[in-house]
Amino acid sequence: MLLALAACSGGRIVENDEYHNDAGRSRVAGRMSGEQDGLLVMGTDRSSKSGSGAGAEGGLGVNAYLWRATLDTLSFLPLSSADPFGGVIITDWYSPPATPSERFRATAYIMGRQLRSDGVKISVFRQELRGGAWVDAAVAQATATDLENQVLTRARDLRSQTAAR
């Protein structure tokens, strides 16, 4: 039964550092070589961990959890451009079916590699259709803040899902 369980490949790969190691080196916390576990003499550094969501492993320049959470949160809008290194997401205009005379677009900035509450800034723009032309209109102050809070909640969920594995 256990082998059948393994064969179904639904489990998490256990990393080598999750096994007991009786070498003296494994008992020392940290490395004189900094964040690197030993000196890289050849090949590509694979040591980056996704636990902090620092983003280096996936080739991101910003926090991976905030990046993913922002994409998830703004997914109801059509995407115009996304720069994972600069941390900028720009959506295209979108008119809700219920209110075809107004349209929205959003711009999100992810500030850095840290998962922190001020790590994301979202601006929402709104236009109304007046006399056959779209003109800028005010947006409730709380709209952008609500979206940011939704991003942070989603990022926290993603992080806890990863930590639980």
Partner 1 sequence: MRKLLLGTTAVVGAVVMASTGAMAQGADPFRAAGPAVMSHRDLEVRVGGYFRYYYSNTTLDYANTSAANMGKSDFAQEVELHFVANGKAANGLRYGVAIEVQNDGVRQATSGTNSKNSLDLDEAWGYVAGDFGQVRMGDEDPVWALMSQGQVANFASGGLDGDFYDSVAHNRPVLSQPSDAGDATKIIYMSPQFAGFDFGASFAFNTGEGPLNGCTSSNTSCDTLASTSSNTIAQRRNEINAVIRYRGSFSGVGIGATAGYFGADVVKNTSGVSADRINVGQLGLQLSAYGFLVGGQYLFGDAGYGFYTPRLKVAGDDRNFEAFNVGLSYTMGAFTVGTQYGETRSVGVQSRTVTTGGRTDKGWSIGGTYRVAPGIEYVAEYTSFKIEEAGYNFSTRAASGTTANNSVDGQVFLTGFRFAF
Residue bearing tokens 């959506």: 91
* CA proximity to 35, closest of 22, 51, 48: 48
- The window from 34-42, 93-101, 104-112, 139-147 that contacts partner 1 (CB under 8 A) reads 34-42
Q: How far is the CB of 1 from partner 1 (least distance, A)?
A: 11
* 88-91 and 133-137 beta bridge pairing: unpaired
H or E segment and range at residue 128: strand 120-130
Q: Shortest Cβ distance from residue 21 to partner 1 (Å)? A: 8
d(CA 123, CA 106): 6
Pairwise CA distance, residues 104 & 49, whole Å: 37
Among 4, 7, 133, 135, binds partner 1 (CB under 8 A): 7
Q: Does 43 bind partner 1 (CB under 8 A)?
A: yes
CB of 3 to partner 1, least distance (A): 8
- Binders in 72-111 for partner 1, by CB under 8 A: none
Rule CB under 8 A: choose which of 4, 17, 42, 141 binds partner 1: 42
Among 27, 98, 131, 141, binds partner 1 (CB under 8 A): 27
29-37, 50-58, 117-125, 148-156 -> range binding partner 1 (CB under 8 A): 29-37
Confirm or reject binding of residue 40 to partner 1 (CB under 8 A).
yes
Is residue 32 within a helix (H) or strand (E), and if so which, with residue range?
none
Q: Which residue has the tokens 């190691």?
A: 21
If one counts every other C-beta atom within 10 angstroms of the C-beta of residue 101, the result is 10
133 binds partner 1 (CB under 8 A): no
